Amino acid sequence: MSIADKIPADIRGENYTGAATCVKCHTSIGESFAHNSHGLTSSPVVNKNLLKLLANDSNSFAFNQIMKIKVEKRDSGIYQVAYVNGKEIRSQRFDVAFGSGEKAFTYAYWKDKKLFQLPLSHFSEIKTWANSPGFPKNAMYFDRQVTSRCLECHSSFVKTSVKQVSALAMDEEMEKGSLIYGIDCERCHGPGKQHAVFHLENPKEKKAKFITIYNTLSRKQKMDACGVCHSGNTLTTVQSVFNFQPGDKLADYYSQDFVSFGGGNPDVHGNQTAMLQGTLCYQKSEMTCQSCHNSHESIKGNMAIYSQRCISCHQTQKHTATTLAKGVLKTNCIDCHMPMQASKLISFQTAGNKNVNPYLLRSHHIGIYPAK
């Protein structure tokens, strides 16, 4: 048997092999990846993990005096159970988790070949359950379909087919067993089987072959490789984004006009690309996402390291005496120049509260903001 026959097959096609092969040689990246938000951004629900969330919480969300959803562990899994006046009217199991839990988890259940979102999501900031973003305030809603579009940004692959349900309507079905959870190596680097086979056969070769070398990409290609998932969720696709590989152009996947796009009013949620492109830092330098983010390290919350990345371009800054009086500037440029802002698209409602809570994200519009 040749090496090529021995390495695992992958549902995406004969050019792919799956992350298990990649991490055999790239062990340290594999280790950091196991705890990385890209890798964890979707997962099959594991009761043990979900029970940890349940431990500190009332696990109940009242819409009003008569309608309530409870999170309950039963023999066949953990469920969201809807009650009206104390009487159970519907229950659905937690099957799939969306999000690494950084800010939130939303959940879905399988019904035949479709996924539907569960009414309650878990928000890290308030450490409890709340009505899922965009869900009705006075109804316990179980029928919001989660299409492959969510998975295009939150997973590595799912096989879909389209069924004609009437003269006018098409219905999407997804193969549960084909879903590759998380964003894996080949989702960002493109198919890597030939690369893996070559290096297995040529262990002395230290120069990468048959894989896109990131540093050889143009600035635009680098921006597009992240922008495929970080340019907002309102774009219309013209072909499956699962096919995107580094080096490809965004314009071949989305129908928007990316030249004028971003001139509008981009949201902090999901659209870091347009936010950044509107700044002087971006326009007057060769800045890319890599100026501040390395895709394999996790420096979440470490403002001092991020600030060093600002200082690498801004060795000196002209701050007024009033600004300088605010303390040690050099360890946290971020909170002043990239403040947390509320998303205009997402907010969430907590129990017994008619108002909505803001969903805060880091603004990628680097600039001078009024002092707080």
80 scored as a contact of ligand HEC (CB under 6 A) = no
200 scored as a contact of ligand HEC (CB under 6 A) = yes
List phi, psi (to 5°) of 164: -80, 120
Span near ligand HEC by CB under 6 A; candidates 13-21, 54-62, 157-165, 258-266 = 13-21
26 scored as a contact of ligand HEC (CB under 6 A) = yes
38 scored as a contact of ligand HEC (CB under 6 A) = yes
- Other Cβ atoms closer than 10 A to 85: 9
Given 240, 245, 295, 357, the residue binding ligand HEC (CB under 6 A): 295
361 scored as a contact of ligand HEC (CB under 6 A) = yes
Cα separation of 148 and 164, whole Å?
17
257-286 mask for ligand HEC (x: CB under 6 A)?
Answer: ------------xx-xx--x---xx--xx-
Question: Closer CB to ligand HEC, residue 80 or residue 272?
Answer: 272
41 scored as a contact of ligand HEC (CB under 6 A) = yes
Question: Closer CB to ligand HEC, residue 37 or residue 350?
Answer: 37
357 scored as a contact of ligand HEC (CB under 6 A) = no
Could you say which residues in the range 172-191 bind ligand HEC, by CB under 6 A?
Answer: 183-189
> Strand (E) positions, the chain?
42-44, 60-62, 67-74, 77-84, 87-93, 96-98, 104-111, 114-117, 120-123, 128-131, 144-146, 155-157, 160-164, 170-174, 180-181, 340-349, 356-362
Helices (H), the chain: 3-6, 19-25, 27-33, 47-55, 148-154, 185-189, 193-201, 219-230, 272-277, 280-283, 303-311, 321-324, 334-337
33 scored as a contact of ligand HEC (CB under 6 A) = yes
Question: Closer CB to ligand HEC, residue 15 or residue 91?
Answer: 15
